[in-house]
Structure 1
Amino acid sequence: MPVFSWDEPEGLAPRGTLIVLAGRGEHGGVYERFGRRLAFDAYRVRALGDPSADPAVLDEVAKLLADESLPGPKVLVGSDTGASYAVRTAAEQPPGLDALILAGLPTGAWSAGSWEEEAEARTACPTHRGRLTNDPDFRRGALGEAPVTHSLDLVRVPVLALHGSDDRVSPVDAAYTGSAVRPVILHGGRHDVLNDATHRTVAATIVLFLERLRLSPELPLIAEGGA
């Protein structure tokens, strides 16, 4: 199984590890820009595929969480179905997991009439649209596959949820109905929020969350958002 890796710049001490789970149609490589940006802040990033397409991804997650050569805190980052499986993994309380970051938590199947419509629903970033359009390993139309959803009620680690206000694939109100988690809303954001036009703001929000986590999960939030 391919594991895409980005490490801290030479000479800097690593500050933690992010394990990214991709969503429907994706593979870990589409998170290259995200991985490079977080690695620049000295966080190691390991990006995997979509667990709903390949259950072996979750075995690799367990290996990475148990890998003592990777620095803590260790955080699962999930997009779309990757977010749903990150919730499931956290509910099982595996050793080594310190927090969750959820992006575009899925609510159901969504079908586009054309690739152009799907690309627009996924991201407003022209660079990322081009990346997906020209990626032979990306599966178009995968958003039409019904996702398995998992409740956040059993999660006992800190959670940062990120969601686009203009997410047509997974409307934010439906994604967090009945949940105590308050997502940070990216105004104008689409479904692939980690790779959207606001990717710099998203990365900065994640770094704030990670820096707080490194100090203590019990400290007040450095920044907090809501609908």
Structure 2
Amino acid sequence: MTTAQQPAPAPRVWREPAGIAPRGTLVLLAGRGESAAIYQRFGTRLAADAYRVVAVPATTGHAEAAAADALATALADQETPRPLVLVGVDTGAPRALRLARRHAGAVDGVVLAGLPTRAPAEPAAGTEEEALAARTACPNHRLVLSREMALAGPADAERPPADTTPLGLPLLALHGGADRISPPAEALPRYRELGATSVVTVRDGRHDILNDVTHRSVAATLVLFLERLRLGAELPPLVEDATRADA
């Protein structure tokens, strides 16, 4: 049976706690070679804040169709909590952008994390430890990557987004300040070309910015974006630093 004939792995869903009204839905498109289980920590945390998370794995030959199917399922379900936000991680980011453009009237916002800036290349020489170090500084996430990447299969060959015209939707960009896989100097201009509402860099952050050592601060930044989005596409401010106010 060829790869294209094999059934695609099912998305993984983390739901809001029982008895708590859901506050929105995130359809997360995983990055190169990632299984949905890699986002267990992320999904659990966002679900605890009452945001439903649907993580779509990035299996070669299925990633594009699986992403489209997950979004179509969410859009078809009248019970899907709003706002509905696409979260594209690494090579999932170009897929999220394509889906957002295709369904601009139905998707409420987009989050991009670790947007790829270079075409796929042959793996660089080096140890597995060096490859993991480029992904994350978090020891727990390194263990998850070592296990789940082997189970997920080969990485997909997604390329950087060809269309960088403004997206026209609320867009949060999250990027590691020390990302060697997608250098900030290359990624940040692309986020701005896409019309990002907010571009956030994480000091010393590496490529897997949702799961790096700063995952708590990144999740808090994302939740604040979602809470503002619930108030409207213009993202009205929720919190302000009073120490900066004029005396």
Q: Does 1:103 align with 2:113?
A: yes
Give the corresponding residue for 1:28: 36
Matched, 1:207 2:223: yes
Aligned position for 1:175? 187
Say which is worse superposed, 152-161 or 25-34, in terms of deviation.
Answer: 152-161
Larger Rg: 2
8 A contact 1:189–1:198 mirrored in 2: yes
- Identical-residue share of aligned pairs (%): 49
Q: Is the 8 A contact 2:33 2:60 kept in 1?
A: no
CA contact under 8 A between 2:33 and 2:59: conserved in structure 1? Answer: no
Partner of 2:173: 161
**Structure 1 residue 220: deviation in Å?**
3.6
Contact 1:123 1:192 in 2 (8 A): yes
Superposed, which structure 2 residues align to 1:119-198 within 5 Å?
119-135=132-148, 136-139=150-153, 142=155, 145=157, 147-177=159-189, 179=193, 180-181=195-196, 182-198=198-214
3-state SS in 2 of match to 1:33: helix
Are 1:189 and 1:196, in contact at CA under 8 Å, matched by a contact in 2?
Answer: yes
Distance in 1 (CA, whole Å) between partners of 2:163 and 2:238 is 26
- The count of corresponding residues between Structure 1 and Structure 2 is 222
What amino acid does structure 1 have at the position aligned with 2:31? G
- Deviation string, structure 1 residues 180-216 (Cα, Å, up to 9, x no partner): 4352000010001111111000100011000000011
Q: Name the CA shift for 1:129/1:77 in 2 (closer, same or farther; >3 Å).
A: same
Is the Cα contact below 8 Å between 1:14 and 1:43 reproduced in 2? yes
Q: CA separation in 2, counterparts of 1:51 and 1:67?
A: 25
In 2 relative to 1, CA 53–150 (structure 1 residues): closer, same or farther, beyond 3 Å? farther
What SS class does the counterpart of residue 28 from structure 2 fall into?
strand
CA distance in 2, matches of 1:91, 1:51: 23
Corresponding residue for residue 48 of structure 2: 40
- 205-214 vs 84-93, greater mean Cα deviation: 84-93
Q: Which amino acid aligns with 2:25?
A: T
Counterpart Cα distance in 1 of 2:86 and 2:37:
16
Q: Which runs of 5+ in 1 are unaligned?
A: none
Specify every segment of 5 or more residues in structure 2 that has no aligned partner in the other structure, as ranges.
1-8, 241-247
What secondary structure is seen at the aligned counterpart in 1 of 2:206?
Answer: coil
* Displacement over 4 Å in runs of 4+: 221-224
Aligned-residue offset at 1:49 = 1.5
Instruction: Measure the CA separation in 2 of the matches of 1:146 and 1:190.
Output: 20
**2-structure distance, mates of 1:151, 1:37:** 32
Query: Which of 4, 17, 25 is matched with 2:12 structurally?
Result: 4
Q: Residue 86 of structure 2: SS of its match in structure 1? A: strand
Conserved 8 A contact 2:104-2:169:
no
Which of 59, 72, 82 is the matching residue for 1:62? 72
State the one-letter code of the partner of 2:173. A
Q: Tell me, in whole angstroms, the C-alpha distance in 2 between the residues paired with 1:95 and 1:66.
A: 14
Cα separation, 1, equivalents of 2:59 and 2:161: 12
Cα distance change on mapping 1:100 and 1:86 into 2, 3 Å:
same
